Chains A and B, each alone.
Chain A
Amino acid sequence: METAMAPVPPRPKDYKSDIKPIWCPGCGDFAVLSAITKALAFRELPREDVAMITGIGCSSRIAAYTGVYGFHGVHGRALALAAGLKAARPELTVLVAGGDGDGLSIGGNHFIHACRRNMDLTYVLMDNQVYGMTKGQASPTTAADWTRSKLTPHGTGIRPFQPAAMALTAGATFIARGFSGDPNGLAKILVEAIAHPGFSFVQVLSPCLTFRPEQKDWKNAVRSFADEETDDPVAAAARLQDDGALATGILYRDPRFPAYRSRTGGEARVADFEEAFAL
């Protein structure tokens, strides 16, 4: 007689691949990988129902280190790829990941439009304020007076982007900030972000100890948002004005806007398109 075995819940390591990360020792991205796998295990998502889409850069290598479906894509185009996948396969949980250079420079336009389109994607932006893979140039989130790069020996002289504020003005319906130094807190944020039925943006402060060793001090400076999350964009914007860009937690969540869905649910045939667009 057969006895039914209770299913064993997945463990975080079940969502990791066998590939050893080539990140530098001490890189914050290890903790982001850990947080993502903890979040997926907590939600008990089947690996075959999850896809991780990334761009180019150190952090974008994360697609190879997870055991879910992955696409290590084109520089700055991770969100475009992910949007296409979600339109065609709306039942999948689609995670998008990359760095501040990938997502806010070459991918900046995709970012703001992904925010306003509000597709059900979770975008994890690992922000170390530097291009690490190409050996330490200023990125869109680098402070204007950072002088360690030979390309900008006097600093960039231009103000850095504030990713959370950009997401808010562009229409993202879930905005949070996490810290790699608190992987469990980040995992909790990611669980909520994945559950949010719309575009969720999670900026992760993820130090690059190789080219920005001073970021080691973030662990002494990062703190939680002083207030609970809000669904009021004006209140969220006000908080971002004086948080020093180092406050963490869920900032803003607004469930009122429906997530964008393909009208055909990804089931359209070529003939349907020909008929719809017939002159």
Chain B
Amino acid sequence: MSLARKMTDLPTFLAYSVVMEEEAAERHDELADVMDVHNNPDVAATFRKLAHYSRLHAREIREQSATLELPKIAPWDFEWEGGEPPETADSDEVHYLMNRAQALRLAMENEQRAHDFYAEISREAPNAEVRKLAAEFAAEEREHLDLLIAWREKIPESEDEPLIDPDPAHMPE
């Protein structure tokens, strides 16, 4: 049975949604930190901004859930396809020489997955309330994706070149 079909009640759906946004924020924070440490401030700032947006979304969902008691689900009991929430960036898709365009491309993939996650629930969940809210969330993720595309288009082509480190620290010896 697909995860979407298991979304039988609003609290479970919201528990998944909150964790998805919070974990996305944490991963973006982590990537921002690592880019700071590796002296890539532009990409660090990009990930920091993405973390901020994820946190805002998580807060909105928490506020929507204020009158409900969300189930306490252990991290490993979430049935994410692939083990991690769909909006969480793949940590092995980053490099210390990545540029802003690459960071945004990664973020776009995450938003697309988040959109697809909600869209599937909006079609297949057995609960009408869940389907309705999931459709709203899917539309929001689509908006986020459009914003990222617009942001990406503002970056000059010249900044799309891979960064170069003339003295790489990571030479095998």
Residues of A within 8 A of B (CB): 13, 20-26, 30-31, 34, 38, 42, 134-137, 148-151, 181-185, 187-188, 207, 209-211, 216, 219
Contacts and interface: CB of A to CB of B under 8 A. Distances in A.
Contact of B76 (A34, A184, A207): A184
8 contacts: A24-B38, A25-B34, A25-B95, A30-B91, A42-B74, A135-B170, A135-B171, A182-B83
Interface of B: 26, 30-31, 33-38, 74-76, 78, 80, 83-84, 91-96, 98, 170-173
Contacts of A42: 74-75
Nearest to B168: A210
Contacts of B95: 25-26
A42 B93 CA distance: 28
A75 B98 CA distance: 33
A26 B173 contact: no
A184 B75 contact: yes
A136 B83 contact: no
Contacts, number: 76
Contact of B172 (A22, A26, A30, A149): A149
A20 B36 contact: yes
A150 B75 contact: no
Nearest to A38: B75
A99 to B, nearest CB: 17
A22 B76 contact: no
A23 B34 contact: yes
Main secondary structure, interface of A, reads loop
Given A13-B26, A187-B75, A31 B172 contact: no
B103 to A, nearest CB: 11
B78 A136 contact: no
B173 A136 contact: yes
A149 B30 CA distance: 30
Contacts of A134: 173
A27 to B, nearest CB: 8
A136 to B, nearest CB: 4
Given A21-B34, A151-B173, A184 B91 contact: no
Nearest to B80: A184
B172 to A, nearest CB: 4
Nearest to A11: B22
Nearest to B30: A30
